[in-house]
Amino acid sequence: MLSVLTTIFMLIFGGYFLWFVTKRRNKSSEPPIVPYWIPWLGQGLNYQKNPFTFVQACAKKYGPIFSVFMGGRYFTFVTDPFTHPTIAKESRKLNFRLQTMSLTKNVFGYKRGSVDAPTAGGHFPKYMQGENLEDLMKIMMRNLHSIRKQDRLNCADWTEIDLLRLSYDIMFTAGYKSIFGSYSKASGKQENFQDIIDDFILFDDAFPKLVQGYPASSLKGVESARGSFWKMLDSGELDERTDVYAFIDAIRRSYEDRPKDIPKMLFSILWAAESNTVLAAYWALYYVLKHPEAIVAARKEIDHMIDATSQQGNEEIHFTRADFEKMTVLESIVNESLRLGDSPSMLRLATEDYDLHVKCLDKTFRIREGDSVMVMFQLTHMDPEIYSNPEEFKYDRFLTKDSQMKTDFYKDGKPVKFHLQPFGSGLSKCPGRYFAIGELKQFLVLMLRYYDIELKDPQQATGANYNRVAFGTLPPTNECPIRFKRRVT
């Protein structure tokens, strides 16, 4: 018995020793590797505990470029903001799509046609920019107004609700209706948004695990929640709806040869459109409510624009994109809340050995073929050299003294081009960003113009949940009860 145990021990120890002596050593031309002792997992557990603080601590110790082994692969983190534009520009040798192709299958249940296949059939630029976007925003504002007028939200007396739920009730519902329309009268159907939102939150919470490769069936309720969206977005169901945005019809036509994938693909668009936006709306309102001076400044700007556009304050206000461009206080609030609540990244796969010049060191490092390159923009957003007291919300941080947009931010006395990247960068940059910014401003106009609204406990702090670092907007860690009642009837 003893000899069996000794043999097993020797085998394990021998195997570990062999792994340890043969594991990759970095060459002088390569970024330093953060030491690790566990095969395959590497630093994975430490990273997962809190990716932001882990990467921040490594940057302090190893400098602005270093490699981390986790999950059997090497990830090179680049924290120098001056080098980020170089990575964003290099789309061939540092590929985005190869990095994420396999994720799409596990998370959304369909495979992209090819590495070069454009997202959503390539229809984003046409439908999420320019005149079409102006029309979409009109529809969005109309939907926001109709939701505001529902009995539940049109209360004359103070009513309590959790801020995140309110953000979902308003933004998810309006966003969904603006893109996917509503059931026609003839269909005799009507959706229950409370159930849809519950399903969405269930799926959204599971998102990081699905990205890590957990099968949907292993996560309670996720397969069924995802399945209900596939059913809702099935072509038969969509045909029973009216006011479906032309964008969706264009996508359906592009995927005619893969009918089974259409609802899955549409669900991925729905998820991308709603998940980050609802959470970003939450943070924008949360920070404004925490800072009464922001409410005063935003309301002043909204009132001014109502007068300037000759609208009556008690009717359904609508601002065009050109109006919003002049509303710099709103823009600064949106930028500042995205800076604090968002955790965007840029993840690329080196398709061949690639020499990256790290500008702040004036030194070139070789990235090996097959390694990943990772930029966490949150490190820039929280850099005290670029943003003084970065933990603090300053509603006017992005304003100049004469209330224009401030765009120059410095580090080491040099301007940082990529100082604010809430939508990522390069080829993978969010194609829905113009709509997203518009929606957030519309949400703030709706909430501040039409509601008296306050935090139930202004002293209560809400933190960001770091399980979503690098995936987009961070969810809050705890409930945040608020009170609201209608302000303009």
Alpha carbons 392 and 382: distance in angstroms, whole number: 10
SS3 1: coil
From the list 31, 431, 438, 476, which residue makes contact with ligand HEM (rule: CB under 6 A)?
431
Task: Decide: is 424 part of the binding site for ligand HEM (CB under 6 A).
Answer: yes
Stretch that binds ligand HEM, among 297-305, 320-328, 381-389, 427-435 (CB under 6 A): 427-435
Residue 28 has which token pair?
């002088």
Q: Is 58 annotated as a binding residue?
A: no
Binding flag, residue 451, ligand HEM (CB under 6 A) = no
- 475 near ligand HEM, judged by CB under 6 A: no
Compute the distance between CA of residue 36 and CA of residue 20 in angstroms, rounded to an integer. Answer: 10
Nearer to ligand HEM, 66 or 377 (CB): 377
Tokens of 487: 């302000």
Taking only Cα atoms into account, the Rg of the chain, rounded to an integer number of angstroms, comes to: 24
The verdict on 276 binding ligand HEM (CB under 6 A) reads yes
Separation between Cα atoms, residue 332 and residue 326, nearest integer Å: 11
The residue from 444, 473, 480, 482 that contacts ligand HEM (CB under 6 A) is 473
Beta bridge partners of 162: 481
3-state SS, residue 50: coil
- Establish whether 143 is an annotated binding residue: no
Closer residue to ligand HEM, CB minimum distance, 264 or 366: 264
* Residue of 342, 395, 409, 449 that binds ligand HEM (CB under 6 A): 342
Interface residue with ligand HEM among 266, 376, 430, 446 (CB under 6 A) is 430
Q: Is 141 in the site for ligand HEM (CB under 6 A)?
A: no
Of positions 43, 328, 332, 428, contacts ligand HEM by CB under 6 A: 428
Distance CA 392, CA 398 (A): 13
CB of 424 to ligand HEM, least distance (A): 3
DSSP string, 251-312: HHHHTTT-GGGHHHHHHHHHHHHHHHHHHHHHHHHHHHHH-HHHHHHHHHHHHHHHHHTT--
Smaller CB separation from ligand HEM, 36 or 193: 193
DSSP at 240: T
Q: Name the one residue in this structure whose structure tokens are 């090497």.
A: 74
In the bound state, the residue with its beta carbon closest to ligand HEM is 432
> Interface with ligand HEM includes 331 (CB under 6 A)?
no
Report the alpha-carbon angle 67-70-74, nearest 5: 40
* Residues contributing to the site for ligand HEM (CB under 6 A): 119, 128, 269, 272-273, 276-277, 280, 342, 344, 346-347, 422-424, 428, 430-432, 435-436, 472-473
Binding residues for substrate: 276
